[in-house]
Structure 1
């Protein structure tokens, strides 16, 4: 009987964890959609009023090296580790150190934009997407 209870309990925990994971994924997709709407509004405004985009570079994880990228856009953080390109794609511009990257550059992959940049990081390192975009606009 205890084996049946244990098996049932494990199954209930597994189902609860699955449901929790689905809820979290749905919330992240919704937040990403909201952030993308903010980015799209930013792009409409910046194309009319500026500022103009600039070349984007990636930084090594240890912060000692910078690498060329084919991207053009705007940095969202002062440390230049997060940016959006002219197509509205969101990038985290950190990469492993590499001798080859010093000569060839790197091509970062876009990721889903968060509503809060750096959420879960150290105090003072998180930044709302709306605030980051307003900084770029100079407001």
Structure 2
């Protein structure tokens, strides 16, 4: 990055890096949205299949971030992990069932918001803690995960 004394070369380099970073961020967001759309389609199929098979939804509960408190929610659905940290609601939405610890939640319950579903639950977690969404949905249906 030689400088011609005007600072142009350094500025051009910084501008190019800034644009490359912005392009990278846009591409990552595009991929995340595409994966979420694919996951939403899988979830819609799951809800329809669970209903067809007569697999009854259960009341969903949320846990405080520290895991010590359990709160009721107005949601019904199917848990996708044994630790009951994520679920699909009967509304076809994906829920992460971790909420802030609030005194009012003990009385009135918690209201988790729907989240964008990932294709891999627990991505980036320790080995053995992540699972493909398709496999989690199969297990919730009582089927065997893919091999």
TM (normalized to structure 2)?
A: 0.91
Tell me the secondary structure at the aligned position of residue 125 of structure 1. Answer: coil
| Paired residues of 1:76 and 1:136 also in contact (CA < 8 A) | yes
In structure 2, the residue matched to 1:96 is 100
In structure 1, the residue matched to 2:125 is 121
Q: Could you list the structure 1 runs, at least 4 aligned residues long, displaced by more than 3 angstroms after superposition.
A: none
Distance 1:47 1:72 in 2: 13
Aligned residues: 139
In structure 1, the residue matched to 2:52 is 48
Distance 2:63 2:102 in 1: 11
Q: Which string of whole-angstrom CA distances, capped at 9 and with x for unpartnered residues, describes residues 29-66 of structure 1? A: 11111111111111111111031001001001111110
| Paired residues of 1:50 and 1:137 also in contact (CA < 8 A) | no
- Mapped pair 1:135 → 2:132: no
Larger Rg: 2
Q: CA RMSD in A?
A: 1.0
- Mapped pair 1:37 → 2:35: no
Distance 2:30 2:41 in 1: 17
TM (normalized to structure 1)?
A: 0.96
Task: Identify the structure with the greater helix proportion.
Answer: 1
Q: Structure 2 residue aligned with 1:106, among 85, 105, 110?
A: 110
- Give structure 1 stretches of 5+ with no counterpart: none
